Structure 1
Amino acid sequence: MSSQTEQNTTPATQQYGSHHYVLTLDMPGRIAGTWHGTVTPGPTSTRNDMFLWLRERIRAENPEFTGANVVFFSLEPNRL
């Protein structure tokens, strides 16, 4: 039995990114924050690549979160 997967990219996902992410970081007893948005991974990017990239990008813009614990991470296709 063979299976075919069709990827359907709507104008909304092209405009906003192919994937939606949510990342929550916590510095226990000090500060916590949640970031969300859309991103389009590169053709060879893995989920781990995107996690590391997002975490570093957030840390670079918010140095107070250096060494923070990851409380939540989600990366899903940006479609319903």
Structure 2
Amino acid sequence: MSTQTEQSSIPAAQTQGSHHWIITVELPGRRSLTLSSTWTPPTGATRHDVFTAIKNHIAAEDPDMARANVVFFSLEPNQL
């Protein structure tokens, strides 16, 4: 009997940021977008700073979504 070792495609914790975020934005009746990632904010950054940076990133990548409504936002320490 042979066994196979499954390799995980999950990045090692040390390559991930200190925080995990998820955001959903919507242009009502037109389009919605959900994004998530990890990030290590600069020392002294606030939750609002991170929220603003993420919104600005979305706007830079997709100018139409700059005026989108935020339906959901979560920022949590990236640890169990």
TM-score, length-normalised on structure 2?
0.82
2: distance between equivalents of 1:75 and 1:15?
A: 18
Show the counterpart of 1:58.
58
**Could you give the per-residue CA deviations for residues 33-70 of structure 1, whole angstroms, max 9, x where no partner exists?**
00000000111100000000000001110112021000
Larger Rg: 2
CA-atom RMSD in angstroms: 1.0
Any runs of at least 4 consecutive aligned residues in structure 1 with deviations exceeding 3 A, and if so which? Answer: none
Residues 59 and 66, structure 2, Cα contact 8 Å, conserved in 1: yes
Q: Which segments of 5 or more consecutive residues in structure 2 lack a partner in the other structure?
A: 1-11
Show the counterpart of 2:4.
none
TM-score, length-normalised on structure 1?
0.82
